[in-house]
Amino acid sequence: MLILGIDDAGRGPLIGPMFLAGVLIEKKDEEILKKHNVKDSKQLLHSKRIELSKLIKETALDFHIAKAEPEEIDKAIISGINLNTLEAIKTAEIINKITEKRKEKIQIIIDCPSVNTSAWKKKLLEYIRNADNLEISCEHKADINHVSASAASILAKVAREDSVAKLKEQLKKYGDVGSGYPSDPITKEFLKEHGKELKDSGVFRKSWRTWKALFPEPKQSTLQGF
């Protein structure tokens, strides 16, 4: 049996893209990855993630990384598609890309972004082109409990960190961006100082509450106002 692990990185930040990765391996490759201490990316130093990402790509039968830029995230949310649905769309992109030409049975293990795993799986299936040979499992903490999902979490995190590093380089004349998370005081200060100036740069997720609190949309005038 083949196993496809899928996980995301950068779901919560105010700044930069979100990434999802899928890693396809054979069952026997699980032991190789475990032997090299492949585990949830949050449990690893970034230098180790970079090292392991090379091993994962060499070991995997296939892998694919999907990206959602801030504008795409905002557009989805403004149009009524929530972040969980956008993740379902991106997850299906990975599954379709990796499995469409394979006839073998494939076990797919996804670190589910929703508290309601069954509802999210149902939504995901709407975007998968052919699920006949797929056995799909949506779980919480899959990136901890399954090495294939751990491998995916590492590729997604490395892609996210590489993207943020390039973004910081582009923005360094404005100062320290911080981690990009809304809870980071440095990121909050960067937003306060440069958010308006960089509003249309594609850096920020303007559908986030942190952005809206600082830069609320002007209320539209009504006929009664005239």
Tens digit of pLDDT at every position of the chain (226 positions): 899 999 999 999 999 999 999 999 999 999 999 999 999 999 999 999 999 999 999 999 999 999 999 999 999 999 999 999 999 999 999 999 999 989 999 999 999 999 999 999 999 999 999 999 999 999 999 999 999 999 999 999 999 999 999 999 999 999 999 999 999 999 999 999 999 999 999 999 999 999 999 998 876 544 454 3
**Both tokens assigned to 123:** 């939504």
Residue 226's pLDDT is 34
- CATH (residue range 2-167): 3.30.420.10
**Architecture field, domain 173-214:** Orthogonal Bundle (1.10)
Percentages helix, strand, coil for the chain (3-state, rounded to 5) are 50, 15, 35
CA distance 218 to 213: 12
Structure letter (DSSP) for residue 82: -
What's the Rg (C-alpha) of the chain? 19
Residues near 39 by Cβ (< 8 Å), separated by ≥ 6?
144, 147, 150
**Domain boundaries along the sequence of the chain:** 2-167, 173-214
Identical topology for domains 2-167 and 173-214:
no
Dihedral over Cα of 50, 55, 58, 63: its sign: negative
> pLDDT for 21-40, tens place per residue?
999 999 999 999 999 999 99
Residues near 217 by Cβ (< 8 Å), separated by ≥ 6?
none
